[in-house]
Chain A
Amino acid sequence: MATLIVSPSPHIHSGDSVSKNMYNVVIALLPAYLVSLYFFGVGALAVSLISMLSCVLFEYLIQRFVFKGKTTVGNGSALLTGMLLAFNLPSNLPWWMVVIGAFVAIGVGKMTFGGLGNNIFNPALVGRVFLLVSFPAAMTTWPVPSPLSLQYTDAETGATVLAMIKGGFGELPSHVDMLLGNMGGSLGEVSAIALIIGGIYLLIRKTITWHIPVSILLTVVLFTGILHACNPAEYASPLVHLLSGGLMLGAIFMATDYVTSPMTHRGQLIYGVGIGIITVVIRTWGAYPEGMSFAILIMNAVTPLINTYVKPRRFGEKVKK
């Protein structure tokens, strides 16, 4: 008989792992990815592939040659960052800008803090916001959807729904088009229905809980609903807000990022409400038409504070009679 293995309890494990969670999110993003490939054609394919490849490559290179430790590109987190970054970019963005965005996302957003689990801000959003402030023109001209088009950087461009609202009402696309994704915007954010399908998948697989998405969406609906009720001429309806811009993508996929969101359910609700309020404030009164990424980054910064002060409900805290 060989020597027995001795370890502290427990001796069994749920079988959950980091890579399972990461690949679950990647799978959940696929419906939205397919929709964007349909509406934006070659441009979407090029931007997403460049983004994913360069994120994985940068992660590998930094872990291998800067940290000189073991590489963990296999766990899917870099792939997911690349995918989310691409989802936040217009599909006609030149390839080199995508590469710069990927470098900032992985190199600055993630690795400077010590790699997976240590970053304060959502890496994909760090990359996106860096590009937004560095190349504002390129980042705010979105191609209009033209199914299965073969154009990349030379695609025809137009305004997004939120830009139309900011600049006074233009001709908004129908609600059905907005739900399906037949409107201008970043490549992954257009189709609300595909994103919701992905979100339901994540909820079923217990990768995320309902707290963050629901609190964000409810806050946005309530806040914009009040504004809309006060002055329908100036403020768009809650439904338009829900279906436009990066709200769905942000609420379901970006804000729920494990590393940068609070640990407790109560904290997650506070975090979600915060994101909702900041998003609507920026959308309504800010300089940018869309405020989702800024809202998430701001609340990311607040997350450590929430973790410190919002504790889970302790057992026996309130003795029930």
Chain B
Amino acid sequence: MKTFKIGGVHPNDNKLTAGLKIVDVPLPRQAVIPMSQHIGAPCVPCVQKGDVVKVGQLIGEANGFMSARIHSPVSGKVAKIDMASDAFGAKCQSIFIDVDGDEWMDNIKRTADVERICSLTGPEIIKRIADAGIVGLGGACFPTHVKLSPPPGTKAEVLIINGVECEPYLTCDHQLMMEHGEEIFIGISLLMKAINVQRAVIGIEENKKDAIKYFQELATKHFGVEVCPLKMHYPQGGEKQLIDAVIGRQVPSGALPIAVGAVVQNVATTYAVYEAVQKNKPLIDRVMTLTGKSVKNPGNYRVRLGTPLSDVMALAGGLPEDTGKVIAGGPMMGRAMKSLDAPATKRSSGLLVMPALEAQRKEMDNCIRCGKCVSACPMGLEPYLLMNEAEGAVWDRMEHDRVMDCIECGCCLYTCPSRRPLLDYIRMGKATVGGIIRARNAKK
């Protein structure tokens, strides 16, 4: 079975919610929709206080090419447009909508039938995707239409669909594959048409045996689509690692996947593409996993964007007594949240509740130079060295030692026997060095 070649770790996968049916979260009383839910420039609100909006109505216009539109996930009246704190305490312009009923835009097909026929051309499909405000739902939230428009001079050869879900605990993609396999395959053929490739490979890790089997069956009916079972190996869901694992090509330092002819899309994104193109439904909801060993009803939930995360939590039985940490996303790359009052966004792939005992980091020791971080780094970097350089603020050395290649997967800190905050420092150094490089490029 295939996997990527350098580094990686094998955390316990803890998929507590595997196989649990996706449950719809009831509509909130008030939805808060931040205008920045993607990488790139924040959206500009195009409704005003007092406006009545329907589900799927455009409320935030994309601000430039590198941006993704935002649509109203609920129907009701715009209460105000104001700054609101996100889950990490940062303030962001948001639209507050008082929910009233559930009235959808007329052009959205709300039936459950699978729409197979599509007569649109590639550029038309990409336009639909851009109009629907679709972003990568794997966690990075990169606007999908940007990814599907390769820069001039490059040519995509293969579409890789990311069904790896290598983060421990998370099962939302797995469940989506099991419940909406056919739609995902139609989404794949739409994407193939959009970027004009004849071959698509779906990478799925072996801990999802049922999904591999189901998709292999479906693949026989779709020309050019194959399923590639992969060994369990974190961070296989990383774009570069997945390309390496599936087609054995390594994206060079600083280059985009298109440099090796690959375009990668997540299964959830593929499903959203299907809904946008075939059903005309913009990205207004997503599936998220709510899990944790002490959570009463862990599960996979379909949540309208803008729903307060505390509502989702309440549905899962409320925050347990011994909670120490709530993580937005998985335990390896997710961010710890400051409060549950923030709304669900396109970014919310999961909520992981960790008990206080597990949540606290243990005290760090001296570096014993065991080299385990070097062996674990999937990008072939030397985390111990980068941390020392970040502590000493020698940014030029950090750049030379390729800090910008770091994908922040967390393998170094996960594996460090001395529990040194390697990634904390590397991330800070990466941000600083990135700023220095941008400033230098701006000067040129």
Contacts and interface: CB of A to CB of B under 8 A. Distances in A.
A11 B414 CA distance: 8
Contacts of A263: 369, 371, 374, 382, 384
Contacts of A9: 327, 331-336, 408, 410, 423
B97 to A, nearest CB: 27
A315 B440 CA distance: 25
A72 interface: yes
A262 interface: yes
Contacts of B253: 314-317
A304 B319 CA distance: 50
Nearest to B371: A263
Contacts of A68: none
Contacts of A307: 385
Interface in A1-37: 1-2, 4-14, 16-18, 20-21
Given A12-B11, A313-B380, A320-B250, A258 B410 contact: no
A205 interface: no
A4 B251 contact: no
Interface stretch (A114-122, A129-137, A281-289): A114-122
Instruction: Give the one of A10, A75, A259, A268 with max B CB within 10 A.
Output: A10
Contacts of A228: none
B415 A5 contact: no
Given A8-B427, A116-B368, A263-B369, A1 B319 contact: yes
A6 B417 CA distance: 22
Contacts of A72: 365
A312 interface: yes
Nearest to A116: B366
Interface in A279-321: 307, 311-321
Contact of B415 (A4, A8, A14, A314): A14
Contact of A12 (B252, B379, B414): B414
Contact of A10 (B382, B385, B414): B414
B369 A10 contact: no
B439 interface: no
Contacts of A151: none
B354 interface: yes
Nearest to B415: A14
Nearest to A208: B370
B6 interface: yes
Contacts of B381: 312, 314
Contacts of B260: 319
A321 B248 CA distance: 8
Given A4-B337, A18-B368, A263-B374, A10 B252 contact: no
B279 interface: no
Instruction: Give the one of B250, B360, B421 with max A CB within 10 A.
Output: B250
Nearest to A21: B417
B365 A264 contact: no
Contacts of A260: 369
B326 A4 contact: yes
B338 A264 contact: no
B360 A75 contact: no
Contacts of B374: 263-264, 312
Interface size class of chain B, counting residues whose CB lies under 8 Å from the partner chain = 35 or more
B384 A118 contact: no
B63 to A, nearest CB: 28
Contact of B327 (A1, A11, A259): A11
B339 interface: yes
Instruction: Give 6 closest A-B pairs by Cβ, nearest first.
Output: A10-B410, A117-B366, A263-B371, A258-B370, A314-B380, A316-B250
B325 interface: yes
Nearest to B363: A70
Given A9-B410, A263-B384, A312-B380, 17 more contacts: A2-B324, A2-B356, A6-B338, A8-B423, A9-B333, A9-B423, A10-B331, A12-B168, A21-B417, A72-B365, A263-B374, A264-B371, A264-B374, A311-B382, A312-B6, A312-B374, A315-B253
Interface of B: 6, 9, 11, 88, 168, 240, 244, 248-253, 255, 260, 319, 323-327, 331-339, 352, 354, 356, 358-362, 365-372, 374-375, 377-382, 384-385, 402, 405, 408, 410, 413-419, 421, 423-424, 427
Interface residues of A, number: 46
Contacts of B379: 314-315
B325 A10 contact: no
Interface of A: 1-2, 4-14, 16-18, 20-21, 72, 75, 115-118, 209, 258-265, 268, 307, 311-321
Instruction: Give the one of B366, B369, B379 with max A CB within 10 A.
Output: B369
21 contacts: A2-B356, A4-B326, A5-B325, A6-B325, A7-B336, A8-B421, A9-B423, A10-B331, A11-B331, A12-B331, A12-B358, A75-B365, A116-B365, A259-B368, A261-B369, A263-B369, A314-B405, A316-B250, A316-B255, A318-B250, A319-B252
A38 B164 CA distance: 54
A209 B376 CA distance: 13
B6 A315 contact: yes
B334 A18 contact: no
B356 A16 contact: no
Instruction: Give the one of A4, A260, A307, A313 with max B CB within 10 A.
Output: A4
A259 B326 contact: no
A8 B331 CA distance: 10
Contact of A320 (B249, B326, B377): B249
A193 to B, nearest CB: 27
A228 to B, nearest CB: 34
Given A4-B337, A7-B325, A314-B380, A16 B421 contact: no
Given A11-B359, A117-B366, A315 B380 contact: yes
Nearest to B251: A316
Instruction: Give the one of A16, A268, A317 with max B CB within 10 A.
Output: A16
B386 to A, nearest CB: 12
A10 to B, nearest CB: 3
Instruction: Give the one of A8, A12, A117, A307 with max B CB within 10 A.
Output: A12
Contacts of A118: 366
A104 to B, nearest CB: 21
A21 B248 contact: no
Given A75-B365, A315-B379, A320-B250, A4 B338 contact: yes
A72 B363 CA distance: 12
Nearest to B254: A316
Contacts of B368: 18, 21, 116-117, 258-259
A120 to B, nearest CB: 11
Contacts of A14: 9, 11, 414-415
A18 B369 CA distance: 11
A312 B377 contact: yes
A314 B359 CA distance: 32
Contacts of A12: 11, 168, 331-332, 358, 414
A311 B379 CA distance: 12
